[in-house]
Amino acid sequence: MFDFALSAVDGSARAGSFSTPHGDVETPSFMPVGTGGTVKGLVTEELEALGARVVLANTYHLYLRPGHELVRDLGGLHDFMRWDGPILTDSGGFQVFSLAGIRQIHDDGVEFRSHIDGSRHRFTPESVMDIQRTLGADVIMAFDECPPGGCDRRTAEEANRRTLAWLDRCRSRFSELGRQKDVPAQALFPVLQGNVFDDLRRAHARQFMDMYDWPGFGIGGLSVGEAKPDMWRTLELLDSELPADRPRYLMGVGYPDDLLEAVARGCDLFDCVAPTRNARHGSAWTSEGGQINLKAARFKSDRRPIDPGCDCYTCGRYDRAYLRHLVSSAEWLPLRLISIHNLRFLVRLGEEARRRVLDGTFDPWKRDWLERYRKEGSSP
């Protein structure tokens, strides 16, 4: 039910298909982030129109509001969101561990205060499995400890130890819940940690594979402040360690150049809040010269779309001058329109990367694309 098949490989870049009960996901694929059960500002029909095949929701946020049991009583996450395609829920671990000053970590789990009302809560590997089982996503993530970028070796080692122990508890609870009646079919992905220490990354990957025959892998602890060369080196190491016949989900990475660099190093699935977060500040991605800020005065009379090569709804109907006017006037509409463009930009980038892998031209295409994207001053 959760099969992964590779159609082609070009270097380490892969074109595959991940099967789930709610449909197949062709990879590489970017997953829009619907933190609290919605991709900010968009309805599900718009997500379908821009080519999204799988969306991500967040365990921490849905647990706090409206509550996972209410989501279950309202038909489960698919019905609640009105999304018929695959859904992945992360464990909430990153959100909990980012609550510095209002959480305490111990071997049994994490105690934290809600960012909403300050109420006290506790996550354990077992409770996180219970919550995600109740929400009913297709793919759920194991509870892990994500140390900050730039941490020392001792901190990374402790996070690895705890994550491995928690993974064993997550798997046991997941299996126990799976024997109950009327539970949805779900796949449990572990989350690899180790920061940027090669030996810790390698050891963690091997320990995980010795534990169980996982249907896929999450790669955590990257894009958290480390230098880009360290990220790329770590992904190259994991490419040689992880089985080729399982999907690899690089967590929290979604800027266009980062996505392509990760595809080149064997990653398949991606998520990031940047497309909609940047849109709320008037920032949009273009294939010539990278990111532009539509608040800039130079766009006041610009009748061109955000990106002339883009096929999204926004680029097909609106120009930069109008979008600049809306952003400068603090209207709500541009938040939606730019979000549609940014999300389509990433989804389309994954689609094109897949086509290039299939026809064997990925590497020269990637080099040319990144050169144009990163060329300073080339954005018209």
Query: Which residues are known to be catalytic?
Result: 90, 271
The count of other CB atoms within 10 Å of the CB of residue 245 is 10
- Asked if residues 52 and 86 have their Cβ atoms less than 8 Å apart, the reply is no
Sequence-distant (6+) residues with CB within 8 A of 134 are 68, 69, 71, 72
Please choose, from the candidates 40, 41, 35, the residue with its C-alpha nearest in 3D space to the C-alpha of residue 61.
35
